[in-house]
Amino acid sequence: MEVGQMQRRLVEFTKSLFMEGFLDGQFLQLQQLQDESNPDFVVEVVSLFFQDSEKLLNDLTSALEQQNVDFKKVDAHVHQLKGSSSSIGAQRVKNACVVFRSFCEEQNLEGCMRCLQQVKQEFYLAKNKFETLFTLEQQILAAGGSIPATEITSF
Amino acid sequence: MGVTAASQFHVLAVDDSLIDRKLIERLLKTSSYQVTAVDSGSKALEFLGLNEQQPRNANATSVSPSYHHQEIEVNLIITDYFMPEMTGYDLLRKIKESNSYKDVPVVIMSSENVPSRISQCLEDGAEEFFLKPVQLADVNKLKPHLLRGRSKEHHPNSENRKDREEILSPERTRTRYDVPEVI
């Protein structure tokens, strides 16, 4: 596949991520912060998010398995996850966290367990999407091409 | 001395989230600020030399007139609100109570839009309150505060309340808009 084709594929894929709500404007902000002096900024931050959040999800799982669930603690974890997903533009993960927090407030265990499943699902979906995105970028770079900038106006 | 004019502004960033620290650091560095990022209010106080035990000797400030901070030159402190153990608000209070740093502009960041929280922070001395995720447009708002702080270093007696109020924008909370709106 030649570079032009790969670039078009990347643009289409990125567009779809926005259309399907996986990404929001914050991701564009991240891309804007990447430059020659910080060429891996986006990958670094996103990778950090997935590492950090994996642990958070584990903590959440065990917190909800306790005899006496500490909803404040659960809420604190979800708040953290909501914050970091929001910071990288992972919109669907963030939205799932918002719902989760309302169940924490109500101290609704069943609701929380359902939300945890939902958050996990969104999390792994997002991870998948980002991995595809970065792979496409790598392929372009390896072929000597450059990454086309994401244009908001094309949506 | 050459300390003030040509040197970069130094910003102390405080946030318990590693991702947000990375983000704010990059945002600030993009604007050519020197950045020190710490993960808690107590680390911030430690960095500033404001330990819980005793306040620094206030008399030392008269030693060098163009440099009224003890050991650390900090031009702005930007802190997350919601942190374990010490909130950004607590940190704000401690900074404003200190002799060495009470004139350093403090900015609070929060992922939650709670009007009462915002007013309280602003009333108690915060210059701005940014909603997270913080963006370049927010960081651009820091310049006037930094410049004003610098001119105070040159003219310590010209603290002008009126100037302060003019710089403060009427819109404290950034309007939330989802960019782009894609349906």
Cβ–Cβ gap B17/A48 under 8 Å:
no
Q: What pLDDT does residue B72 have? A: 82
Q: Which residue has the higher pLDDT, A4 or B169?
A: A4
CA distance linking residue B175 with residue B168, whole number of Å: 16
Please state the φ and ψ torsions of residue A68, each to the nearest 5 degrees: -110, 100
Q: What pLDDT does residue A124 have? A: 97
ipTM: 0.90
Q: What pLDDT does residue A111 have? A: 97
Residue A65, both tokens? 């398995």
CA distance linking residue B173 with residue B128, whole number of Å: 9
Cβ–Cβ gap A45/B179 under 8 Å:
no
List of chain A residues whose C-beta atoms are within 8 Å of the C-beta of residue B23: 30, 33, 45, 87
pLDDT band for B4, please (50, 70, 90 cuts). Answer: very low
pLDDT > 50? residue B54: no
List of chain B residues whose C-beta atoms are within 8 Å of the C-beta of residue A87: 17, 19-20, 23, 132-133
Cβ–Cβ gap B18/A48 under 8 Å:
yes
Domains and CATH numbers, chain B: 10-51+71-146 (3.40.50.2300)
Domain range summary for chain A, segments of one domain joined by +: 3-32+41-140
Residue A105, both tokens? 């407030």
The CATH number that domain A3-32+41-140 falls under is 1.20.120.160
Q: Using CB atoms, which residue from B133, B179, B182 is nearest to A87? A: B133
Q: What is the pLDDT of residues B80-137, one digit of tens each?
A: 999 989 999 999 999 999 999 999 999 999 999 999 999 999 999 999 999 999 999 9
SS3 state of residue A107: coil
Task: Find the mean pLDDT for residues B36-65.
Answer: 73
Q: What pLDDT does residue B151 have? A: 72
CA distance linking residue A71 with residue B142, whole number of Å: 37
